[in-house]
Structure 1
């Protein structure tokens, strides 16, 4: 099977990592602390597992692979549960406070004290699946109507999961970026509130809250480790996950923070192209990647501010190595535990495996026998039909 990874075309460009101010200014320690205090108080909160893939690390001739498995998060299947639901609560807090003329606490929104007002505040977003599912779940918990915009390639299973949580789902013919544009336009026309994981000029508070919510995952991870990893491979998308984790690691480990490697599909490489151009750059999505959650052509400006300073490397990977990586986790080597992961969860691991089959790329990334690599397994099985199709395939050829 390793032949598949050895043959994979991996593009690499160096970042311009600097002594970062953005990691402490775009997302502050207080932003993360506030999100931690709120989310860890929610019913059903539990830290997700940090899995040690010792046998695979030995196969790849590195010291350690730690995989943060977000599949069990709040029963929603992904890390997104931490972001959209928390950002939704913060939007409701701000609007309720405006309407009653005084500050409303998060706990008062959560407890239903302002249920009548919340029932009149419609929250909307575009999604590839997981963000919308988290928003729908949050709206159901907090009593707000929810509208979710999805593009043509989002699976029906993911759409139904959002409907099951009470959301009205609107499917369009275009791609993810078109669904973002429609959500923004219709929200503006109707007085609804967008809860997006990507920022644009004049729109920053909800994306900042989304990224602050993701910090719960990073803090759990850091508090489970006795030393910093040497590397972290982070999947791209609009950049919100990667920027939040990079900022959280910088704040926790200071100068000892790990080398940040960004991984994207070669079919949706807006962060790679941003690194090439030296500024946030939008790319056209000509073909959808199997990594549905990473099929994004326009980076979040706020996320890019952090990644421009924190990321050391940017990689793109082909879809051909994604399904084999899903199967490798589900049918592990040696004594490694079984991990059932979604397609977007494995981008970092797929890139790591491919890099270790390529001595020149390994050297360029500073990977060696002493490397300790952290991976964020961002989702579990969020669409059982797709997962079953992947598992029914084989790695021959």
Structure 2
């Protein structure tokens, strides 16, 4: 286990008025997204788990984990973004604001007739595609889903079970996104992707606002626990839409005291770490083999990047064993702490925090991130065991390099 967690402090030049990059994540926009989510009968607030015993062991004031394995019965948070974007698009198509079209009205015969038939198209490692397929099904529309090579067959079957035309390609994630865009262009479909490019910003904006429903929930849940604000947030990044959404929301909520925020990535797909190193938005290519399939994205989302550039404190590049550590620690709690079943992409932030707080070789990281006995750390476990077989192999068999290499290559 020679690979180490790597940390870079944020040295990007901030925008003169950095709030401009995050204004679309203001609470009034996020509350509109949550109201739409609340209109689905499947909506419930997901748990915020206070790991008090673990916090005491790590010499922290508190650790709070938002457990998204309960989200809409889909075992992951991604449906929050896709559903809000798809709903917003249909509302726009019929000349309404989404606040006027809760779920029941959106699927009414009158609105469906005005909107017409829509085919929603996306690329995904699994969770986002399942959310898009689920939402298309609920909205009585069609969906087409492309998955990058190496994607889980179980995740593919879960997407197909929602009625999607889904398949695994021989491409990496970013090329699968381009394939989805090509298909949508040729078949009059709509791409639902959480990354922006020229002429394509509305959908990723809505997706990020949808993601922030869980950030708004977390803020309210912290207050119910007597915590005014988190001092620290560790947030994972693929293209950076989730990280940007969470940072943008909390930056707008606490403009005078923004939480110390650390972006966490797999070392094989660390496009934000690379961007920080090079001082500009940069991309990672290749197959990006990592067990953290949901984070295996090499090209940043410009909307997320602008927020992250302006508000992040630091960037972490993490070997796969860090995610495996997090899965085991969450799944085998200390003292009276509640167990959290967290998948590879969901657990890496806890794994990184655990390593930094327990390994003396990371003492400088603790100092740079101002982690001490007064720190209240907020984490988001973005998925449960969306591939149960893979989850069990990692948790049961350990994090030795040979096993992880085998899992990455499957």
Question: Which TM-score applies when normalising by structure 1?
Answer: 0.93
Corresponding residue for residue 37 of structure 1: 35
Displacement after TM superposition at 1:395 (Å): 6.0
Displacement after TM superposition at 1:38 (Å): 1.3
Corresponding residue for residue 279 of structure 1: 280
Whether 1:133 aligns to 2:137 is no
Corresponding residue for residue 387 of structure 1: 391
Displacement after TM superposition at 1:332 (Å): 1.3
Structure 1 segments (4+ residues) deviating >6 Å: none
Whether 1:196 aligns to 2:193 is yes
Matches within 5 A, 1:62-77: 62-77=60-75
Show CA shifts across 1:92-140 (max 9, x none): 222344xxxx778423324453334656211100011111111001100
CA separation of 1:391/1:297 partners in 2, compared to 1, >3 Å: closer, same or farther? same
Structure 1 residue matching 2:25: 3-state secondary structure: coil
Structure 1 residue matching 2:123: 3-state secondary structure: strand
Structure 2 residue matching 1:62: 3-state secondary structure: coil
**Residue 163 (structure 1) aligned to one of 135, 160, 172:** 160
C-alpha distance in 2, partners of 1:168/1:286? 24
Corresponding residue for residue 334 of structure 2: 333
C-alpha distance in 2, partners of 1:394/1:179? 31
Whether 1:115 aligns to 2:116 is no
C-alpha distance in 1, partners of 2:253/2:23? 14
Structure 1 residue matching 2:272: 3-state secondary structure: helix
Structure 2 residue matching 1:254: 3-state secondary structure: coil
- 1:247–1:306 contact (8 Å) kept in structure 2: yes
Corresponding residue for residue 21 of structure 1: 19
Corresponding residue for residue 173 of structure 2: 176
C-alpha distance in 1, partners of 2:167/2:301? 23
C-alpha distance in 2, partners of 1:353/1:145? 43
Corresponding residue for residue 267 of structure 1: 268
The count of corresponding residues between Structure 1 and Structure 2 is 388
Question: Which TM-score applies when normalising by structure 2?
Answer: 0.90
Show CA shifts across 1:276-305 (max 9, x none): 223221111344110010000000011101
Displacement after TM superposition at 1:220 (Å): 0.7
Corresponding residue for residue 354 of structure 1: 355
Please say which of residues 110-119 and 326-335 is displaced more in the overlay.
110-119
Whether 1:11 aligns to 2:15 is no
Please say which of residues 244-253 and 26-35 is displaced more in the overlay.
26-35
- 2:194–2:208 contact (8 Å) kept in structure 1: yes
Matches within 5 A, 1:64-103: 64-97=62-95
Structure 2 residue matching 1:376: 3-state secondary structure: strand
- 1:22–1:309 contact (8 Å) kept in structure 2: no
- 1:238–1:294 contact (8 Å) kept in structure 2: yes
**Residue 374 (structure 1) aligned to one of 341, 362, 378:** 378
Name stretches of at least 5 consecutive residues in structure 1 with no aligned partner: none
Displacement after TM superposition at 1:29 (Å): 3.6
C-alpha distance in 1, partners of 2:220/2:11? 28
C-alpha distance in 2, partners of 1:122/1:168? 10
Displacement after TM superposition at 1:396 (Å): 7.9
Name stretches of at least 5 consecutive residues in structure 2 with no aligned partner: 402-410
CA separation of 1:232/1:112 partners in 2, compared to 1, >3 Å: closer, same or farther? farther
